Chain A
Amino acid sequence: MNYVFDIMPPLLQGTGVTLQVFIITLLLSVPLGLALALVRLSRFRVLGGVVNGYIWLMRGTPLMLQMLFIYFALPFVPVIGIRLPDFPAAILAFTLNYAAYFAEIFRAGIQSIDRGQYEGARVLGLTYPQTMRRIVLPQVVKRILPPMSNETITLVKDTSLIYVLAMNDLLRAARGIVQRDFTISPFVVAAAFYLIMTLVLTYGFQRLEKKYAVYD
C-alpha cells in the first residue's frame, strides 16, 4: 500500500497531462466539428467537397501518424512550415482528427431532423440561422449524445498516444515506473485512473440524456 502512495505523484502528474489534452481537444474539436458539418451540408458544393476530403484524410490515416507529421514534418513544409512545441503539436493533431469524427456525428444528427421542422420554422418567419440555432441544433444535441459519449471516452484513452512526442501522460508515467521497479502495480493504478475518468464521463452523459428525455 505504501508503495502505491509512493508512485502517486508521478501518476497524478501524468493524469494532469492526460486531462489537459483531453479537455482542450474537446473544447476545440466540438465547435470545429460542428462548423465542418454545417459547411458540408451547406449549398456551397465546392467547400463541402473540400470538407469531405478533409474528413477522409483525417479518418483515413492513423492519429499517431498525424501527430508525428505535425511535430516532425510540418517544420519542413514550404510556406506553412512552423515548428510547434510538443504540447501544441499534440493538441493540434488531436483537434484536427477528432473534429473530423465529430463533424460526421453532427452531420448525421442534423440530417436526422425531419424536413417538417424546417418548414414549420420557415412559415413562422425564422431565418435559416435562427432555425438552426433555435429549432434544429437543440434537437440534434439530444440525438447525438450516445455517439458523442462514445467518442469522448475514446478520446480519453487516445490521449495515451502522446507518448510518441515524449510527453508524460498517465500511461507513459506508469510505464516508466514499471520499467524502473519491475512491478506491474503502476499499470493497475493507471487502469483504475482511466476507469474513474471514463466513469465520470459516462455518468455525465447519462445525466444529459436524462435531462433531454423530458420531451420524449
Chain B
Amino acid sequence: MIRAVDIHKHFGPVEVLKGVSLEVGKGEVVAVIGPSGSGKSTFLRCLIHLETIHRGSIEIEGEPLVTTDGSGACRYVSEASIRRVCGKMGMVFQHFNLFPHLTVLQNIIEAPMTVKGLRRDEVVPKAEALLKKVGLFDKRDSYPSRLSGGQKQRVAIARALAMEPDIMLFDEPTSALDPELTGEVLRTMRGLADEHMTMVVVTHEMGFAREVASRVIFMADGAIVEEQPAREFFASPQHPRTRAFLESML
C-alpha cells in the first residue's frame, strides 16, 4: 500500500530524514516510535505531502507521488496526481485541527460535499453512521469547543474516515490528551485495526504499539534504527538504542 524508499529531507542545513525506507502492506498496522526530534512525524507528513522530500521516492497503492531519478533529481507528480494519490490517505493530527466554526456533523460532511461534490442528503446518513461508530452521535450538532480532547480526536477520526481512505495516518493522536482521555481514542483506533484498516501510527503509547500494531519501527536521528514485528520488538529489542529508549519509557 505504501512504499517509501530512501527518503531524505532537510530543514535548511538540518538533516531530519537520512534515508528512511518503509513498506506497508494492506491491513498492516505500523507503529512508529522514537524520541522527539527523531523525524518520525516529519516522515509521516512526507507520506501525505504536508512536507516535501529532497530525495527518494514514495508510492501509494502502486501510484507514484514522488520519484528520484539516477542523477538524484527529485520530482513530484502533477498537482492533480498529488491530490489523487494523497486522497487515498486520511490523516489525524496531534492537535485535532477540527474546524471550530463548524459543528461536529458539518466538520464531517464538509470534505465529502466540497471535494467529492456529493449532496448533503447523500453524506449525512454516512456521517451519522460514522458518529455512531466513534460513539459521538449525541454530539452531532455541538461545536468542537464544547468537546473534550478525546471527543475531538474521535470526531477527527470520523472526519478522515468520511473520505473513505484506504490508509490512515496518525500523528501522535493521543499526545495532546489528558491521560484519562487517551483510552477512548485508542479504543477507536483499535476498532479500525480490527476492521483491517491499513494504519501508520506515530505514537508514544507503548501499550498500543505492543497490542495493536503488527509491526513496530523505532526511529532515531532521522533514520530507522530497528524494525520488528510488535511481539519481537518488545520481547527482544536488538539495538542498544532501542533498549535504552524502551527502558526510558517505562
Q: A17-25, A114-122, A161-169: which one contacts chain B? A: A114-122
CB A116 to nearest CB in B, in angstroms, measures 4
Instruction: Give the residues in chain B near A126, CB-CB below 8 Å.
Output: 111, 114-115
CB A8 to nearest CB in B, in angstroms, measures 45
**Complex Cα–Cα for A125 and B79 (A):** 12
- Asked whether any CB of chain A lies closer than 8 Å to the CB of B137, the reply is no
- B101 A215 Cβ-Cβ under 8 A: yes
- Asked whether any CB of chain B lies closer than 8 Å to the CB of A177, the reply is no
CB B10 to nearest CB in A, in angstroms, measures 20
Residue of B nearest to A130 (CB): B114
Hey, what's the 0/1 contact readout for A111-144 against B, CB within 8 Å counting as 1?
0001011011111111100100011001100100
- A120 B114 Cβ-Cβ under 8 A: no
CB A124 to nearest CB in B, in angstroms, measures 4
Secondary structure of the B side of the interface? loop
Q: B82-90, B211-219, B229-237: which one contacts chain A? A: B82-90
Instruction: Give the residues in chain A near B145, CB-CB below 8 Å.
Output: 215-216
**Complex Cα–Cα for A129 and B160 (A):** 20
**Complex Cα–Cα for A116 and B159 (A):** 15
Question: Which one of B83, B98, B101 lies within 8 Å of A120 (CB-CB)?
Answer: B98
Instruction: Give the residues in chain B near A135, CB-CB below 8 Å.
Output: 99, 110
- A125 B86 Cβ-Cβ under 8 A: yes
Hey, what's the 0/1 contact readout for A137-174 against B, CB within 8 Å counting as 1?
01100100000000000000000000000000000000
- Asked whether any CB of chain A lies closer than 8 Å to the CB of B105, the reply is no
- B83 A125 Cβ-Cβ under 8 A: yes
**Complex Cα–Cα for A121 and B97 (A):** 9
CB B213 to nearest CB in A, in angstroms, measures 22
Hey, what's the 0/1 contact readout for A2-29 against B, CB within 8 Å counting as 1?
0000000000000000000000000000
- A123 B114 Cβ-Cβ under 8 A: no
- B101 A123 Cβ-Cβ under 8 A: no
**Complex Cα–Cα for A120 and B171 (A):** 12
**Complex Cα–Cα for A117 and B89 (A):** 18
- B50 A138 Cβ-Cβ under 8 A: no
- Asked whether any CB of chain B lies closer than 8 Å to the CB of A214, the reply is yes
Instruction: Give the residues in chain A near B102, CB-CB below 8 Å.
Output: 215
Instruction: Give the residues in chain B near A122, CB-CB below 8 Å.
Output: 50
Hey, what's the 0/1 contact readout for A99-117 against B, CB within 8 Å counting as 1?
0000000000000001011
CB A134 to nearest CB in B, in angstroms, measures 6
- A125 B115 Cβ-Cβ under 8 A: yes
Enumerate A62-117 residues with CB–CB distance to B below 8 Å. 114, 116-117
Chain B positions near chain A (C-beta within 8 angstroms): 48, 50, 83, 86-87, 89-91, 93, 95-102, 110-111, 114-116, 143-145, 159-160, 163
Top 7 nearest A-B pairs (CB, nearest first) are: A120-B97, A124-B111, A116-B97, A125-B115, A123-B91, A215-B143, A138-B101
Beyond the given pairs A123-B90, A124-B90, A126-B111, 16 more chain A to chain B contacts, judged by CB atoms under 8 angstroms and listed by A's residue number, are A114-B97, A116-B96, A119-B97, A120-B99, A121-B99, A123-B50, A123-B91, A123-B160, A125-B115, A125-B163, A130-B114, A130-B115, A134-B110, A135-B110, A215-B102, A215-B145
Q: Supply 15 A–B pairs (Cβ within 8 Å), ascending by A.
A: A116-B93, A116-B95, A117-B99, A119-B50, A120-B97, A120-B99, A121-B111, A123-B48, A123-B86, A124-B160, A125-B115, A125-B163, A126-B111, A127-B83, A130-B114
